[in-house]
Amino acid sequence: MDINVAIIGGTGVYDPDILNNIREERVSTPYGDAELKTGEYGGKIVAFMNRHGAGHSIPPNMVNYRANISALKKLGIRNILATAAVGSLNPLMKPGHFVFADQFLDFTKCRQQTFFDGGSAGVAHTDMTNPYCSELGEILKSAALRLDLTAHGSGVYVCCEGPRFETAAEIKMFRMLGGDLVGMTGVPEVCLAREAGICYAAIAMVTNFAAGISPTRLAHQEVVDTMMHNSENIRELLMQTITWIEQDRACTCHSD
């Protein structure tokens, strides 16, 4: 059976505990090896990739995004559900809420952004007008509604380089530019998925209000604790969404 769906687990989503018959996989790519697990759920084979590695050992600015997406492409993945812990810039998007981002602002600085880096790889200018798969987004919204989860169907995700948290002045600027959420891993992951012709949906879990909005100092443990507290909601949302993704679904993302 083909592997059609992959989960990329961010902070707090480390284990594929919704899957059965789990196997360790190592996939070689031109950008390095990528490690993941495959297992079964609902009659489907699903891949699970821990973005930050075992023991959260890889910071966001050091993740090998090209190897990860290249490996999923090599396995034949056509749909990616990517989780991410985020800070909120929007008072309506509160800790514990889910947000299914539909746009991003990129403030990363030192990352390999593309597969098309010249030479034998060629040069291409990929359209990113709508960077996230709208069809997967609709499935996620329906799943959240079915599970009675508080979720926002759209939002602007601001991606920063990290691993430091942002300053209050940076957050003020991001708000002025229209940002709703801030994180450190969404770009170039979504861009590479589009280049690879893979549908990509971001499942952002708000863990805190961002710097200058939050009344307390930011701490990574706060992020982890909130994600773990909501682990059952994340798990149920993923399970319901996977159930509703048709094995042979076609999408314009696959041809972009």
Q: Give the tens place of pLDDT for each residue, 53-73.
A: 877 789 999 999 999 999 999
- Beta strand 20-29 pairing with 32-41: antiparallel
- pLDDT one-digit tens code per residue, 17-51: 778 889 999 999 999 999 999 999 888 999 999 99
Q: What is the DSSP letter of 153?
A: S
Q: The tokens of 157 are what?
A: 């995700």
Q: The tokens of 108 are what?
A: 């990363």
Question: Cα–Cα distances in Å, from 35 out to 6, 25, 234?
Answer: 13, 6, 22
Q: Which domains does the chain have, with CATH numbers?
A: 3-254 (3.40.50.1580)
- Per-residue buried b or exposed e for 196-232, using 16+ beta carbons within 10 Å of the residue's own CB: bebbbbbbbbbbbbbbebbeeebeeebbbebbeebbe
- Which segments of 42-116 are extended strands (E)? 44-50, 79-88, 98-99, 103-107
pTM above 0.85, yes or no: yes
- pLDDT one-digit tens code per residue, 239-252: 999 999 998 888 98
Q: Which residues pair with 107 in a beta bridge?
A: 160
Helix (H) or strand (E) holding 236: helix 231-244
Q: How many CB atoms lie within 10 A of CB 21?
A: 9
- Specify the pLDDT at position 124: 81
- pLDDT one-digit tens code per residue, 181-197: 999 999 999 999 999 99
- Whose tokens are 């492409």? That residue is 73
As a whole number of angstroms, the distance between CA 18 and CA 22 comes to: 10
